[in-house]
Amino acid sequence: MAGYEALNSLLHELIWCIWVSAVGEHPRQQVIFETRHWAVTPNEFPYPGTRLHLLVVPHRHVNDMVDLDDDALADFWAALRQIRARFDLDHYGLGVRNGNCSFTGATIAHVHAHVLVGDPARDPEVPVRMRFSSRPR
């Protein structure tokens, strides 16, 4: 595991994180809005059963939310408030995978929050599921 973390850190130093450099620049990656510390974008691969699946991505590269400074953490809640208002949400799920991707099920080593809204019109119902691992893959 230490080797994985060292390699990830080295790669980050050599090239800017895929999230920070690609969000907004990739032709299919639309940024809905940004705050001082976060970008909000639709998930290009929404989970089954969702009518809305957004990613809230910090501009700063970290693997764990608690490694962000207090301003960025406060700004996360402000971004979430904007999402709730902009999409007129009266319910949603919030998921964050923190730490080593081998255990969390994340595919990108840059923390990001998933805002998930199930689709009540689906019949039969498709439950929205977010995968977390318990063993390294």
Count of domains forming the chain: 1
The answer as to whether 70 is a domain residue is yes
The answer as to whether 31 is a domain residue is yes
Sheet strand arrangement including 33-34? 33-34, 38-42, 50-58, 113-118, 93-96
* Cα dist from 20 to 10, 57, 135, whole Å: 16, 8, 28
**pLDDT at position 43 over 80:** yes
Q: Which domain holds residue 44?
A: 2-118
Tens digits of per-residue pLDDT, 83-121?
Answer: 999 999 999 999 998 888 777 777 778 899 999 999 999
The structure's pTM equals 0.79
**pLDDT at position 135 over 60:** yes
35: CATH? 3.30.428.10
